[in-house]
Amino acid sequence: MGGEQGLNPFSDMTVSHIQEIRDRLRRLGARPAHEQRILRLWAQAKPQDSGSRPLESFMPTALRNDLTQLSADLGGLLKLQSEHPAEDGSVRWLLALQDGQTVETVGLPRDGLCVSSQVGCAVGCVFCMTGRDGLIRQVGSAEIVAQVAFARLHRPVKKVVFMGMGEPAHNLDNVMEAIEVLGTVGNIGHKSLVFSTVGDPRVFERLPTGLVKPALAVSLHTTRADLRAQLLPRAPKMSPEELVDAAEVYARQTGYPIQYQWTLLDGVNDSEEELEGIVRLLKGKYALMNMIPYNAIDDLPFKRPSWERAAEIARTLHKRGILTKLRNSAGQDVEGGCGQLRARALKSTELHMPVRVQEAPLHFVKAKPATVL
């Protein structure tokens, strides 16, 4: 993988991991300072010849001669397939990786970015489009950072959330490697990096050991263990109580609250019983509850509650001592829910033949009818 060969994004030789980039640089004579400089300029979407010092004054000749090809190769880790700006200021990009697989990356209002960590997902949340075809492949650490570099060519990025396609806990090595780069040379504050998970014991073991300790978001969605097993059928078998207890330890270790994610599903998890359960689980915890009304998807039997009902739920929880924010999913007007852009592209072009995970028929047990408190 020398300078003259490069990293052709659609050749048989694909590079998707940051360590592979480091190995290439070292074979060209790079020292740690050179590696950090190159990774910094790449992650921040700046030209590799940036700076006031002449490159020949500090960079090995072989490495310097490879910079043009290297820049092209890093830029070729992914390419834009389609762009979907929304009225709320967000923009959704469908990005093609080196092997032709696609991921969704979302530019959020207020300089945020949502990145994908997997193509597909093995968790199989029944209300999510991404998991319908199961896990197709992992997204490499370099491909994750490349999503940030791509977005920075179009808009400022000061916060990165791992809430796109995939379950970061199932791609832990790549995600943690990307987080380390973004939280150091990538110029993203540690608590402006948000690791989102359905809950996995490996997360609570690994995150405290990282050089960069990101903020943590936990997909809770219900306080009922039986309902959680239906909504997230292949998530680790942690009860809501076990999940909150493990997350609370990390919150106290890092001095930063846990963001609990709750996708509001009309008539499913918006009952009085659930509100009581939230108060029981989170009262006194170092926590923030994010209530997100469901982004409706065709062919799925779930509905988005009215905004008035969602606002009433948030107000009720806030009055009862649970810090709650009501959030709208970005890109509602372009039907940009997680996995929807990719699904539409695959349906229209028939580029992909997924290996589907066999699922048993879903016999969904709804919660009690919602009651306005």
Annotated catalytic sites, by residue? 104, 338
DSSP string covering 196-233: EES--HHHHHHGGGSSS--EEEEE---S-HHHHHHHST
Which residues on adjacent β-strands are paired with residue 114? 106, 161
Main-chain dihedrals φ then ψ at residue 71, nearest 5 degrees: -60, -40
Which residues on adjacent β-strands are paired with residue 118? 138
Number of helices followed by number of strands (H, E) in the chain: 11, 12
Angle 79-84-87 from CA coordinates, rounded to 5°: 150
What radius of gyration, in Å, describes the C-alpha atoms of the chain? 21
Count of C-beta atoms within a 10 Å radius of residue 25: 22
Angle 128-132-138 from CA coordinates, rounded to 5°: 95
Main-chain dihedrals φ then ψ at residue 284, nearest 5 degrees: 85, -5
Instruction: Give the span between the Cα atoms of 230 and 250, in whole angstroms.
Output: 27
Name the pairing type of β-strands 135-138 and 258-264.
Answer: unpaired
